[in-house]
Amino acid sequence: MAPHANDSNGAATGMNNGTPPSSTATSFVVDSPNVTYGDDTINARYTYRTTDISLVDGKYQVEPKETVYDFKTETKVGKVGLMLVGLGGNNGSTVTAGILANRRKLEWDTREGPRKANYYGSVVMSSTVKLGTDSTTGKDVNIPLHDLLPMVHPNDLVVGGWDISGMDLAAAMDRAQVLEPTLKGLVRKEMSAMVPLPSIYYPDFIAANQGDRADNVLSGSNACMEHVEHIRKDIRDFKHANSLDKVIILWTANTERYADLLPGINDTADNLLQAISDHQPEIAPSTIFAVASILEGTPFINGSPQNTFVPGCLQLAERHHAFIGGDDFKSGQTKMKSALVDFMINAGLKLTSIASYNHLGNNDGKKLSSQRQFRSKEISKSTVVDDMVAANRVLYKEGEHPDHAVVIKYMPAVGDNKRALDEYYAEIFLGGHQTISLFNVCEDSLLASPLILDLVLVAELFTRIQWRQPNTDTRNTNPSTSASQEKPEQEWKSFHSVLSVLSYMLKAPLTPPGTPVVNALAKQRSALVNVMKACVGLEPENDMTLEHKLF
């Protein structure tokens, strides 16, 4: 299928007219009175079981509870566009080439032999979940995660976006030095036809060493409502030109410095909008894109570590019921950390220090050599263990925390092959110590690109899911109290504007105000899988395997 380009509406790569979508569909049917299949929806009634705790006279009083929810999932996916801020960067050019390669089922030669296009590294496309147990053989039945609910297929995404560099994507792909030459040759024609839209460039927020790339920018070096309206028009034009049902916007551009949180400037939605109109200098480019996306009702995901979602931006998203998610792709070193620290603390080992060192030579490393931009990354990398430490008061007293140092150095020679060295130092039995050292060489953009697709696919799915509480929605499992409470049936609602279900793919997960942040990798994946299972009326996998233990 040949892609098309439209210079007035940003680079685009999509389906030919009349081509049916290859969006994934469920490969099973749930036989339950709690699940019904309509012409265009899956409807499920689900009982969510939790435990309420209260401290009474110095002793915990534990009360199991059940809450009933109805979920409704639209099964028609439609045609979906992905607009990347930073389209011409390492990640943008790599993910675009990857979609083209998979769509055309390309094969190419490497020094290690032939390779085929795949979506390895995508939890949605390349991992499986346990559906249940075969009633005949007793064996587990596992299916691809994307088969749980109808989801857009990456091959069907129409890709476009913005960049401060005006290079076409073929030239940008060469500049990135990520892909094999033989693969680049196979997609060069399509990539050369794709040119990013002009982006916004506020030098105070971006490392000075990025200035030589900024040849494709809108006029103006501070926030202004004209920039918001220009981005909104770009979104509408892209959607119209490609006959899209919806668009997802994702920031994979420069790491910005942290924005100062200022009363009267970015603390409320109204103040933020007024500050933009007043050309206030403390409004970041990423926040401008987020505001434009929110006002267009388009999901916006931040893949960099800066604080794009200042309080006013978050409030604006809630006001417009628009989805946002962030922050910072979790691909290599931090993903290992969020798995290993969870393992060590759950094993009863008292982790006392974590030393993380990185060096890399791509443009991400170049911009992080600027101290103010590095500080954004340092924050997102350093907070990843906080919830795991706070959950174990046997090992850690109030206020106690492992020492945690993060170092990133720019070394051009290693290119996109990032070197990550970690040392974990822990106290063990009777004053002993354990040291675990890891050396992780990861091709940065080839790990990050599948995460971009995961974020887009999951965010799109949640635009089609609604929930409500039916009349009888709360049951107390304590037999000494009433079995049910009658409540008025609620209207159908979307999930909260902050899509915390995206946390598995992000270093510093954004959560709704007042809700806990979960960084432990296994918990994040379970949350994603179990919410999807709830939408088809299936229980979470409890791993008790009583069917094998009791008989």
Q: Active-site residue among 328, 342, 416, 473? A: 328
pLDDT of residue 478: 46
Mean pLDDT of 491-514: 92
Mean pLDDT of 68-72: 96
pLDDT of residue 444: 85
Mean pLDDT of 291-297: 98
pLDDT digit string (tens) for 130-180?
A: 999 898 898 999 999 999 999 999 999 999 999 999 999 999 999 999 999
507 flagged as catalytic: yes
Is the four-CA dihedral 173, 179, 182, 187 of positive or negative sign?
A: negative
Chain CA centroid to CA 209, Å: 28
Residue 278 has pLDDT above 90, yes or no: yes
Residue 22 has pLDDT above 80, yes or no: no
Q: Active-site residue among 239, 246, 377, 533? A: 377
Q: Active-site residue among 337, 350, 418, 533? A: 418
In angstroms, the CA 498 to CA 511 distance is 6
377 flagged as catalytic: yes
Residue 292 has pLDDT above 80, yes or no: yes
Residue 27 has pLDDT above 90, yes or no: no
Identify which of 373-387, 465-479, 527-541 has the greatest average pLDDT: 527-541
pLDDT digit string (tens) for 93-104?
A: 999 999 999 999
Domains within the chain, CATH numbers bracketed? 35-74+464-549 (3.30.2360.10), 218-327 (3.40.50.720), 333-443 (3.30.360.10)
Mean pLDDT of 509-518: 88
205, two tokens: 């927020």
328 flagged as catalytic: yes
Residue 230 has pLDDT above 80, yes or no: yes
455: number of Cβ within 10 Å: 27
Query: Using an 8 Å Cβ cutoff, are 505 and 330 in contact?
Result: yes
Beta strand spans in 236-370 (E): 246-251, 300-302, 324-326, 350-360
pLDDT of residue 490: 81
pLDDT digit string (tens) for 520-534?
A: 899 999 999 999 999
The amino acid sitting at 242 is N
Indicate the pLDDT class of residue 250, thresholds 50, 70 and 90. Answer: very high
Mean pLDDT of 433-441: 93
Residue 287 has pLDDT above 60, yes or no: yes
- What are the angstrom distances between the C-alpha of 329 and each of 251, 332, 375, 414? 10, 9, 16, 21
Q: Active-site residue among 330, 367, 507, 533? A: 507
418 flagged as catalytic: yes
In angstroms, the CA 91 to CA 98 distance is 10
Residue 505 has pLDDT above 60, yes or no: yes
Low-confidence winner among 30-39, 112-121, 205-214, 460-469 (lowest mean pLDDT)? 205-214
* Average pLDDT value over all residues in the chain: 89
Residue 190 has pLDDT above 90, yes or no: yes
